[in-house]
A and B are shown apart, each in its own frame.
Chain A
C-alpha cells in the first residue's frame, strides 16, 4: 500500500534488488482477495500477508496464506517450491 516513492527509498536503504510494486488503492490486493479491512495504520485497509509462486506461463505453482501475521514464508520455502516445480516440468 506504500507509494512508489516510499518503496524506492526503502529498497535503497535495505539494498534489495527485486521489484517493489505499489498498490495504493488496493486494487490488486482486492482482486487476489487479500484485503484486511481496518487492520492498517489508523484503521485503513491493508493487505494480509501472502506469497505466491507464479511460473512463466502465469500459472500459480505454490501459495502460502499465513494464519498469523507475524509468520511469513521463509526464502527457503519459496526456493523449495520453485525447485519442485522445476522437477515437475521436464525441460
Chain B
C-alpha cells in the first residue's frame, strides 16, 4: 500500500463513542421504567459495549496504522468516553445518594403529623379530610414530577 492510499474508516471508534454518548444522555429516558431507573443497567450496558468497541478501535488504529485511521481521534474519543462514564457514575452512585437521613421523620405506628395545604385548585385540604374519607392515604413527597 502506498503512503497516499486512503485508509479505512475505523467505525469501531465512532460507534463506540456514540454508544458512550447514548449511555451518558439516555438516563432520562430509562428513568421512565422502574427496572432501568432503580439501577442504571441500560446505561451501564451502553457504556460497556461502547468501551469494548473503543478499545478494539484503538487496537486497530495503533496495531494497523497503515490500514485504519484513528491514531489521533481514537484516544480523544476514548478519553471523552471515560470522562462521560466517570461523570455518570459519580452522579448516580454518589450525588444521588446524598440524601438527608431524616431521622426525625414520622415512623410506622406513630400518628402522621396533621397539616393543611392548598390543593391544585387552591382549596385548603387537611390530612384529616383525606384520611376521614378513605381507608388509607398515600402521602408522596416527590421532586421533579416523579
Does A40 contact B143, Cβ atoms closer than 8 Å? Answer: yes
A46 to chain B minimum Cβ distance, whole angstroms, is 5
What 0/1 readout, one digit per residue, does chain A (41-57) give for beta carbons within 8 Å of chain B?
00000111111111111
Query: Which residues of the other chain, A, contact B136 by a CB distance below 8 angstroms?
Result: 53-56, 61, 82, 85
Q: Does B108 contact A (CB under 8 A)?
A: yes
Query: Which residues of the other chain, A, contact B105 by a CB distance below 8 angstroms?
Result: 32-34, 50, 63, 65
Query: Which residues of the other chain, B, contact A60 by a CB distance below 8 angstroms?
Result: 106-112
Query: Which residues of the other chain, A, contact B31 by a CB distance below 8 angstroms?
Result: 70
With contacts A58-B111, A78-B138 known, is A67 near B119, CB below 8 A?
no
A52 to chain B minimum Cβ distance, whole angstroms, is 4
Compute how far the CA of A53 lies from the CA of B34 in the bound complex, rounded to whole angstroms.
Answer: 20
The 9 closest A-B pairs by CB, nearest first: A33-B104, A8-B120, A21-B117, A7-B120, A52-B139, A28-B115, A47-B141, A50-B141, A69-B96
Can you add 20 more A-B contacts, CB < 8 Å, to A58-B114, A59-B112, A72-B142? A1-B143, A19-B125, A20-B120, A22-B120, A31-B115, A33-B102, A33-B105, A34-B102, A36-B99, A39-B98, A46-B143, A48-B143, A50-B140, A54-B138, A54-B139, A56-B134, A56-B136, A60-B109, A66-B99, A86-B135
Does A23 contact B117, Cβ atoms closer than 8 Å? Answer: yes
How many residues does chain B have at the interface if contact means C-beta atoms less than 8 Å apart?
A: 48
Query: Which residues of the other chain, A, contact B2 by a CB distance below 8 angstroms?
Result: none
Compute how far the CA of A37 lies from the CA of B101 in the bound complex, rounded to whole angstroms.
Answer: 12
Which residues on B are within 8 Å of A, measured CB to CB? 31, 34, 37-38, 92, 96-100, 102-115, 117-122, 125, 127-128, 130-132, 134-143, 145-146
Query: Which residues of the other chain, A, contact B110 by a CB distance below 8 angstroms?
Result: 59-60
Query: Which residues of the other chain, B, contact A52 by a CB distance below 8 angstroms?
Result: 106, 112, 138-139
Query: Which residues of the other chain, B, contact A53 by a CB distance below 8 angstroms?
Result: 136-139
Jot down 15 A-B pairs with beta carbons below 8 A, ordered by A.
Answer: A7-B120, A10-B145, A19-B119, A22-B120, A27-B115, A52-B106, A54-B131, A56-B136, A58-B127, A60-B111, A60-B112, A63-B106, A70-B38, A72-B142, A78-B138
Does A33 contact B103, Cβ atoms closer than 8 Å? Answer: yes
**SS of A interface (majority):** mixed
